[in-house]
Chains A and B, each alone.
Chain A
Amino acid sequence: GAVVSQHPSRVICKSGTSVKIECRSLDFQATTMFWYRQFPKKSLMLMATSNEGSKATYEQGVEKDKFLINHASLTLSTLTVTSAHPEDSSFYICSAKTLFNGDEQFFGPGTRLTVL
């Protein structure tokens, strides 16, 4: 149980385009989802916390107009990178939290974004 999926797993886009990444909790309802990004050989940095049905809370330094987060249901959150630039190239990982099993966070497999 407690499986989180992400789609796509890998995406390459041109500079200036927008990219949408989906995060789904497959076998549980996630009231809260988190989005992280990870640069090569670096740790995961929290970008935002997404609660179902409400606006996401962004960490300091993360542009909310550039990284649009929608959490429309208890099993789906989306991250849209708008007007992507090469510096947005990174590994994006989502995580979903359940109230069961000690309030543990479960992580998706990640999405590798490359902006040319």
Chain B
Amino acid sequence: KQEVTQIPAALSVPEGENLVLNCSFTDSAIYNLQWFRQDPGKGLTSLLLIQSSQREQTSGRLNASLDKSSGRSTLYIAASQPGDSATYLCAVRQAGTALIFGKGTTLSVSS
């Protein structure tokens, strides 16, 4: 059964720092991987979607990489801002199934 793990569970950084969030999954036969952002009490905002054939995706200050063979993905956030404070969720999908989520990394960026 697919399991998704995110490390660290929580992270606090000062404004302006670059940071990396890690995601690992046990079954490398994935269809795609998505990174989401969730603010407290709110729904999910999709940040980046990486297909299994892709190595990375970029959107603004965000860059997500995927190494399917090793079961790892990273989300790189450049020049962090207080508005980036949220919980970041990694999720993977295998063919014909729903997204399976990790427990998330809660990021706090102080000004």
Please list the residues of chain A having a beta carbon within 8 angstroms of any beta carbon in chain B.
6, 34, 36, 42-46, 49, 91, 93, 95, 102-110, 112
Contacts and interface: CB of A to CB of B under 8 A. Distances in A.
A34 B98 contact: yes
Question: What DSSP secondary structure best describes chain B's contact surface?
Answer: strand
B88 to A, nearest CB: 11
A12 B99 CA distance: 28
Interface in B14-57: 31-32, 34, 36, 41-44, 46, 49, 51
A31 to B, nearest CB: 12
Given A46-B100, A102-B49, A105-B99, A93 B43 contact: yes
B72 interface: no
Q: Which 8 A-B pairs have the closest CB atoms?
A: A109-B43, A110-B43, A43-B103, A107-B44, A34-B98, A44-B101, A43-B101, A46-B98
Given A105-B93, A107-B43, 10 more contacts: A6-B43, A91-B41, A95-B98, A102-B49, A102-B51, A103-B93, A104-B49, A108-B43, A109-B42, A110-B42
